[in-house]
Amino acid sequence: METLTAGATTFSRRQILVAIYAALVAFLSYASVYAYRKPFTVATFDGLSFWGVKYQVLLIISQGLGYMLSKFAGIKFISELKRMGRWKTSAILIGAAWSSLLIFGLVPAPYGMLCLFVNGFMLGFMWGIIFSYVEGRRATDLIGSAMAVSFIFAGGFTRSVAVWLRDAWQVPEQWLAFMTGLVFVVPLIIFIYLLERLPGPDEEDIQERTVRLPMSKEDRVRFLRLFGGGILAITITYLFLTIMRDVRDNFMANLWNELGYGNKPAIFTTTETITSVAILLMMSLLVTVRKNIRAFKLIHFVILSGFLLSGISSLLFLTGSLDGALWMQLVGLGLYMGYIPFNCIFFERLIASFRIAGNVGFLIYLVDAYGYLGSSFVMLSKEIFQIKLTWSQFYPNCVVIFSVIGLAGTFFSWVYFSRKYQSLKNS
Summarize pLDDT for 287-340 with one digit per residue, the tens: 889 899 999 999 999 999 999 999 999 999 999 999 888 999 999 999 989 998
- The pLDDT score that the predictor gives to residue 197 is 93
The Cα–Cα gap between 349 and 266 comes to: 36
Per-residue pLDDT tens digits for 183-197: 999 999 999 999 999
The Cα–Cα gap between 424 and 159 comes to: 47
Is 1 part of a structural domain of the chain? no
- The pLDDT score that the predictor gives to residue 284 is 79
Number of neighbouring beta carbons within 10 Å of residue 217: 11
> For residue 411, is pLDDT > 80?
yes
DSSP 59: H
**388 band by pLDDT with thresholds 50, 70 and 90:** low
Is 94 part of a structural domain of the chain? yes
Percentage of the residues of the chain whose pLDDT score is greater than 70: 95
- The pLDDT score that the predictor gives to residue 290 is 87
Number of domains in the chain: 1
Per-residue pLDDT tens digits for 14-34: 888 999 999 999 999 999 999
- The pLDDT score that the predictor gives to residue 121 is 98
- The pLDDT score that the predictor gives to residue 319 is 93
Which domain, by its residues, includes 249? Answer: 11-422
> For residue 265, is pLDDT > 70?
no
Residues paired with residue 11 on neighbouring β-strands, in sequence order: 4
Q: Provide the CATH number for the domain around residue 116.
A: 1.20.1250.20
Is 4 part of a structural domain of the chain? no
Is 19 part of a structural domain of the chain? yes
- The pLDDT score that the predictor gives to residue 6 is 39
Is 60 part of a structural domain of the chain? yes
Given a contact cutoff of 8 angstroms between Cβ atoms, the answer to whether 132 and 361 are in contact is yes
Number of neighbouring beta carbons within 10 Å of residue 174: 18
- The pLDDT score that the predictor gives to residue 170 is 94
- Give the residue among 334, 295, 335, 300 at the shortest CA–CA distance from 411: 300
Average pLDDT over residues 48-65: 88
Average pLDDT over residues 2-23: 71
User: Counting beta carbons within 10 angstroms of the beta carbon of residue 267, is it exposed (0 to 12), middle (13 to 18) or buried (19 or more)?
Assistant: buried
- The pLDDT score that the predictor gives to residue 73 is 96
Is 256 part of a structural domain of the chain? yes
Cα 406 to its chain centre, rounded Å, is 17
**37 band by pLDDT with thresholds 50, 70 and 90:** very high
Is 5 part of a structural domain of the chain? no
Given a contact cutoff of 8 angstroms between Cβ atoms, the answer to whether 345 and 283 are in contact is yes
- Give the residue among 403, 287, 406 at the shortest CA–CA distance from 345: 287
Give the highest mean pLDDT range of 96-105, 144-153, 282-291: 96-105
Average pLDDT over residues 146-161: 84
Asked, as a colleague might, if the bond just before 396 is cis with ω within 30 of 0, I would say no
> For residue 1, is pLDDT > 60?
no
Average pLDDT over residues 129-146: 92
DSSP 345: T
> For residue 122, is pLDDT > 60?
yes
Given a contact cutoff of 8 angstroms between Cβ atoms, the answer to whether 41 and 61 are in contact is no
Average pLDDT, the chain: 89
- The pLDDT score that the predictor gives to residue 357 is 82
- The pLDDT score that the predictor gives to residue 112 is 96
**Stronger pLDDT, 342 or 182, i.e. the higher one:** 182
Given a contact cutoff of 8 angstroms between Cβ atoms, the answer to whether 79 and 131 are in contact is no
Is 78 part of a structural domain of the chain? yes
Q: What predicted TM-score, i.e. pTM, was given to this entire model?
A: 0.84
**Stronger pLDDT, 389 or 343, i.e. the higher one:** 343
Average pLDDT over residues 163-189: 95
